[in-house]
């Protein structure tokens, strides 16, 4: 909490001192840009944290500016005024959240499409605000909006905006630190992996977008009384894209970046465009250069994106609770699976049965369809016919998240770890999987969780104890191991590993083999491992499946496979 | 005006003004006595945004008027100094600039040519504390305290022009098309009244959304089917250009007259010389107005800005008249006190580009003209003389 | 046949065809390279100014076509090299960078030509009578040229080896590289090709619309929706998307008015993004 307190003091000091430095008239101008900064802070959350670039942040500002204006006009003397204004703060947040639920529902969104959809949203809002004259005042806007009772002087504008910005920044600082913030940053790097760790990625995104809406709501609700006029300009393409420019130049990932961008660039534009002839050109060039070479913006290099919890040395680790779901073995039955992509058939009438826990290796030449079997099991690819029964279901399709909660752990061929997070954060995300409720994601104490499994993994792979290390700076082998460790931290009962030892040194390989064996015994789990290295298969496998041309060629013990003529033919004749 | 469009950006004009400003900032010995206590005039012209094509003319016309005012002794004996603001900024930002002008720069008067949303924001910010002169044509109805509107009102534009078209061409069946916002709607509401007065009929009315560029093929088809004698156009900017080009492209210009109420030289340039057949406009200024006053004005303008002069257009020249209006108003009042200025406004006479304007009810009775597009220029068909504004603001 | 029906049919066709014409370049850059070029409209604008420039010099309108191709190459080459190439794998950043580029291009054109409206004369004037409906000859020509262009694009994309190579590039960039397809050059040429298509659309539209530095945004917004509705898969999606967006807008506009038509288009686009984000014609 010390860091939060330091921020609170710093922000408060700046906001109090600022008007003394710049003078009253600038403070009044600044009042507007502090509100814009609140909206930009919201954009920073959705874009910088969760990776959702919105070209329509002005929608939320505008929406609540109109509702706040209408409320102030209609109820300025009513006792209900402040509760109603509270609604106008919250409403855009709810709208954004519901909009997110609608848009993100059940699929991975193309990034560009989200930008376009938000663009369509503000264009539509601008159209409605202009056309619906009886309510919105049309093109000329809603006018003669009274000030907030008790806050109608010029100086009050700054005070209100400053308090709103201060509180918003505190809220943002806190939420960026919570497990939710960690998950957003993970999400913006690899959405699929977050789903395969058992989190509802669509809902996480909706929450981020909802909060960006809420920040727009705060700004808009104060905008109306401050300006006494609300026009469709707020839904303009220009304002929303300006927000994006400001946040990008200021630094999208940081707490201070969006704020500095909004105040600095916004205020500069407000004053310089009257005196500097080529201001727009200068701004455009700065912007392009920032996008190309300073992706983190002005503050990105100076301030770490988020003050990392794990940098504290005095943290006391707490045992994580047990996973919610029971861990018992369940048989795996794949029957008559046919799967083709385009007109290329990949799996043909594939059958695979596993009746008891243990380690099962899948071997077969390149292109045999091994990874596709995993993809069909986890719903990444849809089979044309056939059934998969596992994890207590019989041929019912589950998404990656549900499967993970039910006990699936999948490691992809390429290490899917979150490069921009620390080792500690990566492992923590895995620990939260299946153990945290939605509300838990707001508890900072989750960052202190540990489990016996994690302790054992740390013993086996000492680099995992350096929790502050950025994952991006790890070696390939360490990333492979971290990925595996994350899978095992979820304590799965069905483990799918795709070449877990690719690129590892001999020592690392041996340690991984022994760890997998240890985990399977400990969890009473079933591990299915795709492996090319026959030496490893010999070490690991209780049972081997040989896949060839999308069908099951042979299955049996290692010795049986090695002596089977058909398998030998495939391996000697089939591949070169 | 020549046929060839001039390539002037507002940059060059701004650069020119910056030069002028630096001369004004020369050491004390060279300055006139009045410069030590300048009369500060805040301006809001369209330096950015969609209306920025008018910015250079507005700035230039304002500068010319300020030169002339200073040569004639300034305002209240003080040299006029400009504090420039951007009228193309979003309303909220313009309001902040207005407050800064008022409290920090201590401007004595504000002159603006921009859209109505910005006007309302400025009115809201000033709250009548300093005189504010709003110059471009608008929908009428601005009666805020200490606010003066030498703009063309719908009554001034619509009534004489629609009657003149009826008298000259017998246009009785009229089709109304405009952008969907307040100025076209108010203007058309008035137009319907006047059309009924001479027994004409409205055979169609439609509005296109403001914002995206519209295509007008379907509107032109509807107009063709409605077969009016006259189309009354209250489209603005690019839409006005697109509509008129499409209208002529479909060959409707041969039989149907068009009367556009926001059509000045710069928009006509976009419509093009071949698409202006039977296209009329009614405003208080055209560069082609053949009065001695306008000839002299154009000569002074050409002398000051020479080759690089931004082309003259109604939205722009209004800044010249508006600046003069502000100067005369305060000189007549003898102070910038709100009450004195309000009182002085009634019956005020001031110099416009084409003659004089007379202010009553804080609006201005002025000479109106009906012009027909001939190639890239206008030809004045009719001078209506002084036309009343029909506004009823109290003083 | 009823001339009113014919006239409405022609209007709807024109709306659809011009939409497809403008969206064509965007479909190439977004669909094939994954680059959402927000400066697309500015290249349409540059095309229109090429037509204006040619007219100013007293040359034939037809000279605008070679001129716009040269201008697009001259601008597109360094832009691709310095801005776009670094961002092929960063779709968000492309959106941002091209937005900056659009500001820059507008300011540059404004510097040379001023902020005002310009007009380009129609190279052929007059109307033709089609089953009782008078229709501008030039617009008829634009429709024909646009249809031919779209047809050529389909044929080129499907038949030619470049088309196949781009398909390979799209389907699997790494593989394309490993089998020796020069991805860097191919991507650059594809990007410039997309710009040229935008420029040519600008040249064709210039005699009908208002020509001014800010015109790009007017033309580009609906193109996004066309691609959203049609899907990014291929040129068929472009035609389908233009049909849905252009058809919906002009039918509603013909029945009610432009405001209703435009609002309807935005709602249709939102519904598609919600319910069918892959578009009607998937890859």
Phi-psi category of B109—alpha, beta or left, where left has phi over 0 and alpha has psi -120 to 50? beta
Whole-angstrom Cα distance, residue C53 to residue C119? 10
Residues of chain A contacting C103 with CB distance shorter than 8 Å: 280-281, 283-284, 287
What does residue A563 show for φ and ψ, rounded to 5 degrees?
A: -95, 0
C32 burial type by CB count under 10 A (0-12 exposed, 13-18 middle, 19+ buried): buried
Highest-scoring range by mean pLDDT, A36-40, A542-546, A566-570: A36-40
Counting Cα atoms < 13 Å in the Cβ hemisphere of B233 gives 31
Whole-angstrom Cα distance, residue B229 to residue B252? 11
pLDDT, position C57: 93
Per mean pLDDT, which range of A328-332, A336-340, A457-461, C268-272 is the poorest?
A: A328-332
Residues B362 and B147 sit within 8 Å (Cβ to Cβ): yes
The total of other beta-carbon atoms located within 10 Å of residue C248's CB is 20
Task: Find the CB nearest C259 among B52, B208, B311.
Answer: B208
User: Where in chain C are the domains?
Assistant: 3-215
Per mean pLDDT, which range of A562-566, B93-97, B302-306, C245-249 is the poorest?
A: A562-566
> What chains are in contact with B, requiring at least 3 Cβ pairs below 8 Å?
A, C
* Best mutation target, B18, B211, B214, B234, to test chain A (most A CBs within 10 A): B211
Interface of C with A (CB under 8 A): 30, 34, 36, 82-83, 86-87, 91-93, 95-97, 99-101, 103-104, 107-108, 217, 221, 224-225, 228, 259, 262-263, 266-267, 269-270, 273-274, 277
Helices (H), A273-422: 279-293, 297-302, 370-377, 400-406
Give me the tens of pLDDT residue by residue for chain B, a chain 395 residues long: 334 333 333 333 344 444 344 333 334 333 344 457 899 999 999 888 888 889 889 999 999 999 999 999 999 999 999 999 999 888 988 998 998 898 888 999 999 999 888 999 999 889 899 999 999 999 888 999 999 999 999 999 999 999 999 999 989 999 999 998 889 998 999 999 999 998 999 999 999 888 777 889 889 999 999 999 999 999 998 899 999 999 999 999 999 999 999 999 999 999 998 899 999 999 999 999 989 999 999 999 999 998 888 889 998 899 999 999 999 999 999 988 999 999 999 999 999 999 889 999 999 999 999 999 998 899 999 999 889 888 888 87
Nearest CA in chain B to A226: B92
pLDDT, position B4: 39
Asked if the Cβ–Cβ distance from B91 to A227 is below 8 Å, we say yes
pLDDT, position B1: 36
What does residue A447 show for φ and ψ, rounded to 5 degrees?
A: -70, -10
Residues A373 and A362 sit within 8 Å (Cβ to Cβ): yes
What are the structure tokens assigned to C124, written together?
A: 């052929």
Asked if the Cβ–Cβ distance from C228 to A109 is below 8 Å, we say no
Residues B238 and B265 sit within 8 Å (Cβ to Cβ): no
Cβ-proximal residues to C54 (8 Å cutoff; 6+ apart), any chain: C60, C61, C63, C64, C67
Say if C130 is an interface residue toward chain B (CB within 8 Å). no
Q: What is the DSSP string of B231-248?
A: EEEE--HHHHHHHHHHHH
Residues B204 and B175 sit within 8 Å (Cβ to Cβ): yes
Gyration radius of chain C over CA positions = 19
In the predicted model, is pLDDT for residue A476 greater than 90? no
Q: How far is CA A413 from the centre of its chain?
A: 21
Q: Domains in chain B and their CATH numbers?
A: 10-152+293-360 (3.40.50.2300), 154-283+370-387 (3.40.50.2300)
Q: What is the DSSP letter of A65?
A: H
Whole-angstrom Cα distance, residue A131 to residue B310? 35
Whole-angstrom Cα distance, residue A352 to residue C136? 68
Q: What is the torsional sign of CA B138, B140, B145, B146?
A: positive
What are the structure tokens assigned to A17, written together?
A: 């001192």
The rounded percent of chain A whose pLDDT value lies above 90 is 15
Whole-angstrom Cα distance, residue B90 to residue B117? 9
C235: three-class secondary structure by DSSP: helix
pLDDT, position B23: 38
Q: What is the DSSP string of B97-135?
A: HHHHHHHTS--SEEEE-S-HHHHHHHHHHHTTSS-EEE-
3-state secondary structure A252-278: CCCCHHHHHHHHHHHHHHHHHCCCCCC
Place of tokens 């082998």: A477
Say if C107 is an interface residue toward chain B (CB within 8 Å). no
Whole-angstrom Cα distance, residue A400 to residue B99? 57
Asked if the Cβ–Cβ distance from B213 to C254 is below 8 Å, we say no
Helices and strands: H and E segment counts in chain A: 23, 14
Residues A143 and B124 sit within 8 Å (Cβ to Cβ): yes
Edge-to-edge strand ranges of the sheet holding A494-498: A408-411, A494-498, A526-530, A358-363, A543-548, A551-556
pLDDT, position A315: 61
Q: How far is CA B244 from CA B2, B15, C209, in A?
A: 21, 35, 9
C64 burial type by CB count under 10 A (0-12 exposed, 13-18 middle, 19+ buried): buried
- A171-180, pLDDT tens digit by residue? 998 898 889 9
What is the pLDDT averaged over residues C215-243? 81
What does residue A356 show for φ and ψ, rounded to 5 degrees?
A: -150, 160
Q: What is the torsional sign of CA C184, C186, C189, C193?
A: negative
Pairing between β-strand C127-130 and β-strand C133-136 as defined by DSSP bridges: antiparallel
The confidence band for C169, taking pLDDT boundaries of 50, 70 and 90, is: low
Whole-angstrom Cα distance, residue A351 to residue A391? 17
Q: What is the DSSP letter of B149?
A: B
> What chains are in contact with A, requiring at least 3 Cβ pairs below 8 Å?
B, C
Residues B369 and B286 sit within 8 Å (Cβ to Cβ): yes
C135: three-class secondary structure by DSSP: strand
Asked if the Cβ–Cβ distance from C100 to A107 is below 8 Å, we say no
DSSP run (H or E) holding B44 = strand B39-45
Asked if the Cβ–Cβ distance from B272 to C120 is below 8 Å, we say yes
Cβ-proximal residues to B281 (8 Å cutoff; 6+ apart), any chain: B259, B260, B261, B263, B264, B268, B370, B371, B373, B378
Asked if the Cβ–Cβ distance from A288 to C86 is below 8 Å, we say no
Asked if the Cβ–Cβ distance from B100 to A26 is below 8 Å, we say yes
- A95-104, pLDDT tens digit by residue? 999 988 888 8
Asked if the Cβ–Cβ distance from C134 to B250 is below 8 Å, we say yes
Asked if the Cβ–Cβ distance from B211 to A144 is below 8 Å, we say no
C203: three-class secondary structure by DSSP: helix
Cα angle C68-C73-C76, degrees, rounded to a multiple of 5: 115
Phi-psi category of C130—alpha, beta or left, where left has phi over 0 and alpha has psi -120 to 50? beta
Say if B96 is an interface residue toward chain A (CB within 8 Å). yes
What are the structure tokens assigned to A298, written together?
A: 């002005």
What are the structure tokens assigned to A176, written together?
A: 């960026």
What are the structure tokens assigned to C4, written together?
A: 């009113």
What are the structure tokens assigned to B136, written together?
A: 């471009």
Residues C10 and C130 sit within 8 Å (Cβ to Cβ): yes
Whole-angstrom Cα distance, residue C166 to residue A322? 52
The confidence band for C156, taking pLDDT boundaries of 50, 70 and 90, is: confident
For chain B, the first-to-last Cα distance in angstroms comes to 39
Cβ-proximal residues to B348 (8 Å cutoff; 6+ apart), any chain: B325, B328, B329, B332, B358, B359
Cα distance from B379 to chain A (closest Cα, Å)? Answer: 33
Asked if the Cβ–Cβ distance from B121 to A23 is below 8 Å, we say no
SS3 percent helix, strand, coil of chain C, rounded to 5, is 75, 5, 20
- A201-257, pLDDT tens digit by residue? 888 999 999 999 999 999 999 999 988 889 998 998 889 988 998 998 888 888 888
pLDDT, position A5: 73
What are the structure tokens assigned to A442, written together?
A: 């707001």
pLDDT, position A324: 61
Residues of chain A contacting C23 with CB distance shorter than 8 Å: none
- C26-64, pLDDT tens digit by residue? 888 887 777 888 899 999 999 999 999 999 999 999 999
- Of A362, A387, A403, the C-alpha closest to A550 is A362
What are the structure tokens assigned to B281, written together?
A: 């406009």
Cβ-proximal residues to C258 (8 Å cutoff; 6+ apart), any chain: B206, B207, B208, B209, B214, B216, B218, B219
Residues of chain B contacting C112 with CB distance shorter than 8 Å: 7
Phi-psi category of A552—alpha, beta or left, where left has phi over 0 and alpha has psi -120 to 50? beta
- A178-188, pLDDT tens digit by residue? 899 999 999 88
Q: Enumerate the β-bridge partners of residue B349.
A: B358
Task: Find the CB nearest C99 among A107, A117, A241.
Answer: A241
Whole-angstrom Cα distance, residue C274 to residue C278? 10
Could you tell me which residue, A111 or B276, shows the higher pLDDT?
B276
Whole-angstrom Cα distance, residue B252 to residue C7? 14
What are the structure tokens assigned to A535, written together?
A: 């030496």
* Best mutation target, B179, B217, B252, to test chain C (most C CBs within 10 A): B217
Nearest CA in chain A to B124: A228
Edge-to-edge strand ranges of the sheet holding A385-390: A344-354, A332-341, A385-390, A393-394
What does residue A496 show for φ and ψ, rounded to 5 degrees?
A: -110, 115
Q: What is the largest CA-CA distance in chain B?
A: 72
Range 201-260 of C in CB contact (< 8 A) with B: 208-212, 214-215, 217-219, 221-222, 250, 253-254, 257-259
Cα distance from C7 to chain B (closest Cα, Å)? Answer: 7
């Amino acid at each position: 909490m010390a860091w939060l307190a330091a921020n609170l003091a710093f922000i408060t000091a700046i906001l109090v001192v600022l008007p003394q430095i710049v003078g009253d008239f600038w403070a009044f101008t600044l009042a507007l840009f502090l509100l814009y900064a609140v909206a930009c802070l919201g954009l920073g959350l959705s874009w910088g944290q969760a990776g959702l670039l919105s070209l329509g942040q002005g929608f939320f500002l505008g929406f609540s500016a109109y509702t706040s204006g209408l409320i102030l006009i209609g109820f300025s003397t009513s006792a209900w005024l402040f509760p109603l204004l509270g609604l106008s703060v919250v409403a855009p947040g709810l709208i954004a959240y519901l909009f997110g639920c609608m848009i993100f529902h059940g699929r991975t969104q193309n990034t560009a499409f989200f930008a376009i959809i938000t663009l369509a949203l503000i264009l539509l809002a601008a159209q409605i605000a202009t056309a619906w004259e009886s309510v919105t005042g049309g093109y000329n806007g809603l006018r003669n909006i009274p000030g907030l009772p008790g806050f109608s002087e010029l100086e009050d504008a700054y005070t209100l905006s400053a308090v709103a910005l201060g509180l918003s920044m505190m809220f943002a600082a806190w939420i960026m630190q919570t497990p939710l913030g960690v998950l957003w940053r993970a999400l913006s790097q690899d959405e699929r992996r977050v789903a395969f760790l058992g989190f509802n990625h669509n809902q996480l995104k909706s929450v981020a977008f909802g909060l960006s809406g809420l920040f727009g709501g705060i700004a808009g609700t104060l905008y109306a009384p401050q300006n006494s006029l609300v026009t469709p300009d707020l839904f303009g393409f220009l304002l929303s894209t300006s927000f994006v420019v400001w946040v990008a130049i200021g630094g999208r990932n940081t707490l201070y970046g969006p704020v500095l961008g909004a105040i600095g660039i916004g205020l500069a534009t407000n004053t310089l465009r009257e005196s500097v002839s080529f201001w727009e050109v200068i701004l455009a060039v700065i912007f392009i250069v920032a996008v190309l070479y300073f992706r983190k913006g002005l503050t990105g290099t100076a301030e770490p994106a988020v003050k990392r919890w794990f940098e504290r040395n005095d943290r006391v680790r707490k045992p994580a609770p047990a996973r919610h779901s029971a861990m018992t073995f369940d048989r795996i039955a794949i029957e008559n699976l046919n799967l083709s992509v385009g007109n290329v058939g990949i799996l043909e009438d594939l059958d695979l049965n596993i009746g008891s826990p243990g380690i099962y290796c899948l071997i077969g030449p390149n292109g045999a369809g091994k990874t596709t079997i995993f993809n069909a099991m986890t719903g990444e690819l849809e089979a044309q016919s056939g059934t998969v029964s596992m994890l207590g279901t019989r041929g019912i399709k589950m998404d990656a998240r549900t499967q993970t909660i039910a006990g699936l752990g999948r490691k992809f061929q390429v290490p899917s770890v979150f490069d921009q997070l620390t080792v500690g954060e990566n492992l923590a995300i895995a620990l939260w999987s299946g153990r945290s409720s939605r509300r838990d994601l707001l508890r900072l104490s989750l960052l202190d969780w540990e489990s016996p499994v994690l302790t054992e993994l740390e013993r086996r792979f000492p680099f995992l104890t350096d929790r502050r290390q950025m994952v991006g700076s790890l070696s390939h082998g360490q990333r492979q191991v971290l990925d595996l460790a994350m899978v095992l931290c979820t304590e799965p009962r069905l483990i799918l590993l795709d070449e877990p030892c690719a690129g590892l040194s001999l020592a690392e390989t041996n340690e991984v083999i022994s760890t997998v064996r240890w985990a399977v015994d400990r969890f009473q789990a079933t591990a299915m491992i795709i492996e090319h290295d026959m030496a490893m298969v010999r070490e690991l496998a209780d049972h081997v499946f040989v896949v060839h041309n999308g069908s099951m060629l042979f299955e049996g013990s290692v010795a049986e496979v090695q002596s089977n003529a058909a398998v030998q033919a495939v391996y000697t004749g089939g591949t070169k | 005006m020549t046929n060839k469009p001039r390539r002037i950006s507002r940059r060059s004009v701004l650069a020119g003004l910056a030069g002028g400003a630096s001369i004004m900032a020369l050491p004390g010995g060279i300055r006139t006595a009045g410069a030590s206590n300048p009369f500060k005039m805040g301006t809001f012209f369209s330096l950015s945004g969609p209306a920025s094509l008018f910015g250079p003319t507005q700035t230039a016309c304002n500068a010319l008027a300020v030169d002339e005012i200073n040569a004639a002794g300034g305002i209240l004996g003080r040299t006029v100094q400009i504090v420039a603001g951007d009228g193309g900024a979003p309303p909220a930002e313009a309001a902040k600039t207005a407050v800064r002008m008022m409290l920090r720069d201590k401007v004595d008067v504000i002159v603006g040519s921009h859209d109505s949303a910005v006007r309302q924001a400025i009115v809201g910010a000033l709250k009548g504390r300093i005189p504010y002169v709003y110059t471009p044509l608008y929908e009428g109805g601005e009666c805020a305290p200490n606010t003066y509107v030498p703009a063309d009102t719908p009554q001034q534009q619509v009534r004489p022009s629609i009657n003149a078209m009826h008298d000259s061409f017998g246009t009785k069946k009229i089709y109304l098309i405009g952008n969907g916002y307040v100025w076209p709607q108010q203007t058309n509401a008035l137009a319907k009244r006047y059309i009924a007065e001479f027994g004409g009929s409205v055979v169609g009315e439609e509005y296109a959304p403001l914002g995206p560029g519209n295509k007008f093929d379907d509107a032109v088809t509807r107009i063709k089917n409605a077969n009016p004698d006259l189309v009354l156009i209250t489209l603005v900017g690019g839409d006005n250009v697109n509509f008129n080009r499409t209208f002529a492209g479909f060959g409707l210009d041969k039989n149907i007259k068009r009367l556009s109420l926001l059509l000045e030289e710069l928009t006509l340039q976009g419509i093009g010389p071949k698409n202006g057949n039977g296209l009329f406009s009614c405003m208080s200024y055209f560069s082609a107005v053949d009065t001695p006053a306008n000839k002299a004005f154009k000569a002074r303008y050409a002398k000051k800005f020479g080759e690089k002069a931004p082309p003259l257009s109604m939205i722009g020249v209004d800044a010249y008249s508006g600046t003069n209006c502000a100067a005369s108003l305060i000189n007549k009042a003898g102070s910038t006190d709100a009450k004195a200025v309000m009182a002085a406004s009634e019956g005020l006479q001031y110099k416009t580009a084409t003659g004089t304007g007379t202010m009553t009810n804080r609006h201005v009775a002025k000479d109106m003209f009906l012009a027909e597009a001939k190639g890239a220029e206008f030809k004045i068909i009719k001078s209506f003389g002084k036309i009343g504004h029909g506004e009823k603001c109290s003083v | 046949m009823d001339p009113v029906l014919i006239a409405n049919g022609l209007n709807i066709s024109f709306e659809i065809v011009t939409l497809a014409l403008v969206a064509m370049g965007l479909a190439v850059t977004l669909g094939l390279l994954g680059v959402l070029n927000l400066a697309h409209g500015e290249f349409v604008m540059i095309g229109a100014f090429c037509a204006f420039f040619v007219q100013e010099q007293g040359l034939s309108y037809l000279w605008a076509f070679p001129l716009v191709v040269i201008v697009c190459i001259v601008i597109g080459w360094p832009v691709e090299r310095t801005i776009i190439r670094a961002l092929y794998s960063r779709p968000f950043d492309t959106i941002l960078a091209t937005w900056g580029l659009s500001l820059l291009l507008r300011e540059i054109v404004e510097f040379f030509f001023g902020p005002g409206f310009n007009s380009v004369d129609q190279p052929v004037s007059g109307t033709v009578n089609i089953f009782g409906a008078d229709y501008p000859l030039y617009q008829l020509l634009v429709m024909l040229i646009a249809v031919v262009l779209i047809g050529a694009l389909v044929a080129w994309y499907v038949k030619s080896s470049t088309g196949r190579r781009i398909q390979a590039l799209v389907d699997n960039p790494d593989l394309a590289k490993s089998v020796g397809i020069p991805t860097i050059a191919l991507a650059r040429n594809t990007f410039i090709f997309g710009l040229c298509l935008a420029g040519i659309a600008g040249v064709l539209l210039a005699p009908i619309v208002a020509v001014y530095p800010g015109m790009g945004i007017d033309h580009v917004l609906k193109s996004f929706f066309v691609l959203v509705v049609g899907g990014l898969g291929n040129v068929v999606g472009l035609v389908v998307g233009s049909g849905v967006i252009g058809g919906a807008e002009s039918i509603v506009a013909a029945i009610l008015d432009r405001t209703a038509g435009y609002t309807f288009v935005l709602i249709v686009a939102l519904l598609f993004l919600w319910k069918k984000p892959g578009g009607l014609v998937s890859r």
